[in-house]
Structure formats: C-alpha cells, structure tokens
C-alpha cells in the first residue's frame, strides 16, 4: 500500500466551513474530542484490522466516524 495521507483536523474544519457556506446551517464544532475520534477511526482500522483494509473501507470509516460521533454543531 502506498503512503496514506490522513485527513487533518484543519482540513475537516475547512470542508465543514465550505459546506455550511454553500448549503447553510450552523457552523462550529460541538466537541473537539469527538472530531479527533472520528478522524482517527481509519488509522485505528488500519492498525488493528486482521487484514489490510482497502481504500473504500478507510473512507467508510471516516464517514461512519463523523456520522456516529456527530462532532459538528450542525450535523449536515
């Protein structure tokens, strides 16, 4: 597997800001710890999975972490 580039907190916040600007809603983080947890989920999957996960599984881990943890004020 090539070198992976993980999504940093600042990148996630920039994406959130852009989505709120485009689609409306409340801006801000509800809980920074929950955001860090959500963004760490793919790294955890890679480290502790029995077999190496594919890119789709890592992307799904990001999505699941953000949806489950609901770290932003506006859950959109």
Domain boundaries, the chain: 9-69
Backbone angles phi, psi at 40, to 5 degrees: -90, -15
| Model pTM score | 0.87
Is residue 1 predicted with pLDDT exceeding 60?
no
Is residue 52 predicted with pLDDT exceeding 80?
yes
Predicted confidence at residue 39, as pLDDT, reads 98
Read off the pLDDT of each residue in 9-35 and give the average, rounded to a whole number: 95
Q: Is 65 exposed, middle or buried (0-12, 13-18, 19+ CB in 10 A)?
A: buried
Q: Is 23 exposed, middle or buried (0-12, 13-18, 19+ CB in 10 A)?
A: exposed
Is residue 43 predicted with pLDDT exceeding 80?
yes
Is residue 66 predicted with pLDDT exceeding 80?
yes
């Amino acid at each position: 597997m090539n070198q992976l580039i993980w999504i940093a907190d600042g990148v996630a916040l920039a994406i959130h800001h852009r989505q709120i600007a485009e689609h409306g809603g409340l801006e801000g983080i509800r809980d920074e710890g929950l955001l860090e947890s959500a963004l760490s989920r793919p790294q955890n999957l890679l480290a502790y999975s029995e077999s190496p996960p594919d890119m789709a599984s890592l992307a799904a881990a990001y999505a699941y972490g953000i949806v489950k943890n609901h770290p932003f004020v506006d859950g959109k």
